[in-house]
Amino acid sequence: MWEYAVLHGLGKKWVVVQGEGIATSYIEVLFETEITDGWEIRVSEKFEPSVEWEKIVRKSSQDTMWWLYTEKSWDEENPVFGLPADPRKLVSWDSKHKKYHEIIEMFGAEVKNAKWVINNLTPVLFEANTVTRVLSQAGAEGWELVGNVPGGKLRMLRRQL
């Protein structure tokens, strides 16, 4: 039986990846107290309710909210090495921002902390500055280059289980 991986050029580096998953990115907002009941209605008054709205706001616990929630599926042929994380968006949670009081009104609580969270990006099995070096690393663990992924331009590696 064989297992397979894929070789990718990543900027000035070469990487070998394998697997599949769903990467997520969001601003996690921790409030000083519990979020008050009725927050969904207050938020929907500020934003048009839709499928997209579901991705904008998610309540993960009584005092924590996920904002600008994004998820993206990946596999070895279509890896996700990063998701958009715009630190400027965190400014909107700062008490000096002009809309800070609207946030308090929507959720019924003051913000204690806000941070970007990015989870489950495509893990890299091997990484090097040159293709020869990354293939040498993989080869030392039993991987061999076998050709192109069928129907594509990416190179495929395999090793026997």
* Spatial CA neighbour of 94 closest among 79, 115, 77: 115
With cut-offs at 50, 70 and 90, classify the pLDDT of residue 105: confident
Q: Is 106 helix (H, G, I), strand (E, B) or coil?
A: helix
Looking at the predicted structure, is the pLDDT value of residue 107 above 90?
no
- Domains of the chain, by residue range, sit at 1-18+123-161, 21-75+82-119
Asked if 155 and 149 count as a contact pair (C-beta separation under 8 A), the reply is yes
Length of the chain: 161
With 0-12 / 13-18 / 19 or more C-beta atoms within 10 angstroms meaning exposed / middle / buried, residue 41 is exposed
pLDDT, averaged across the chain: 86
Summarize pLDDT for 23-60 with one digit per residue, the tens: 998 888 888 888 888 887 887 777 666 665 666 677 77
- Mean pLDDT calculated for residue range 109-116: 85
- Mean pLDDT calculated for residue range 91-102: 68
Beta bridge partners of 116: 27
Rounded Cα distance, 52 and 68, in Å: 10
With 0-12 / 13-18 / 19 or more C-beta atoms within 10 angstroms meaning exposed / middle / buried, residue 129 is exposed
pLDDT at 115: 86
pTM of full prediction above 0.75: yes
Instruction: Report which of residues 100 and 122 the model is more confident about.
Output: 122
